[in-house]
Amino acid sequence: MSEEAPKGRLFARRRRANVDGGRQHRHEVKVSPEEEGMLLRLAEAQHVTIPRLLVESALASATSETPTERRNAMAELFALHRLLAAVSNNVNQMARATNATGEVQAEMSATLDAVRRTAVRIDDAIDGLSLP
Q: Residues 92-114: pLDDT tens digits?
A: 888 888 889 888 878 888 888 88
Q: Cα 71 to chain center, whole Å?
A: 6
CB atoms within 10 A of CB 10: 13
Q: For residue 80, count CB atoms less than 10 angstroms from its CB and return exposed for 0-12, middle for 13-18, buried for 19 or more.
A: middle
Region 29-35: mean pLDDT is 92
Reported as a pLDDT band with limits 50, 70 and 90, residue 35 is very high
Reported as a pLDDT band with limits 50, 70 and 90, residue 12 is low
Compare 48 and 74 and report the one with higher pLDDT: 48
pLDDT at 4 (0 to 100): 41
pLDDT at 26 (0 to 100): 79
pTM over 0.75: no
pLDDT at 3 (0 to 100): 41
> Three-state DSSP class for 70?
helix
